[in-house]
Amino acid sequence: MPIGVLPLKRRAQFLHVAAARRYFVAPGLLLQVCRNNEAGKAIRVGYTASRKVGNAVIRNRAKRRLRAAVEEVMPLHGLAGYDYVIIARLATIERPFRAIQADIKTAMKRLNVWREAGVILPPFESRGK
């Protein structure tokens, strides 16, 4: 059962995720994760790309590619009650789309925020820590 994906928009939300210091670096992206009790049954995702990635056009293209990959992966495999920040890297632009999706899947598995598609989890509060 797919879960809704909401955006992270405020700087404070991005800083909160970064402060948790749970991240995984993949060739095409960097994924940061933080538990969030406010989100309820939604997954919140934010995207960022620094100037190292390129000019504004290239940074926006990188974020669009990441957004498209997340739209296919997160609703089926993401855990509700978590915030995710995905940071573009230099390789994001040239990396094949399927490889970016694989990077997201690998990062989610390594950070223990992966769930199998179709698995219905108990409510966030009853799963414990």
Instruction: State pLDDT tens for residues 2-40.
Output: 567 889 999 999 999 999 999 999 999 999 999 887 656
Q: pTM value?
A: 0.83
- Whole-angstrom distance, CA of residue 99 vs CA of residue 9: 26
pLDDT digits (tens, 9 = 90+) for 50-83: 999 999 999 999 999 999 999 999 988 888 888 9
Q: What does the domain layout of the chain look like in residue ranges? A: 5-115
Statement: residue 102 has pLDDT above 70? yes
Question: What sign results for the dihedral spanned by CA atoms 35, 36, 37, 40?
Answer: negative
Statement: residue 48 has pLDDT above 80? yes
Query: Per the structure block, which two tokens stand in for 103?
Result: 């990077």
Q: Which of 115, 125, 106 is nearest to 29 (CA)?
A: 106
Statement: residue 123 has pLDDT above 70? no
Is residue 43 within 8 Å of 33, Cβ to Cβ? Answer: no
Confidence at 122, pLDDT banded by 50, 70, 90 = low
Return the C-alpha torsion angle 66, 42, 19, 128, nearest 10: -130
Is residue 67 within 8 Å of 97, Cβ to Cβ? Answer: no
Neighbours of 3 (CB within 10 A): 19
pLDDT of residue 2: 55
Give the CATH number of domain 5-115: 3.30.230.10
Is residue 117 within 8 Å of 76, Cβ to Cβ? Answer: yes
pLDDT of residue 51: 96
Backbone φ and ψ for 44, nearest 5 degrees, come out as -110, 130
pLDDT of residue 6: 87
Please, where are the H alpha helices in the chain?
11-19, 56-77, 97-110
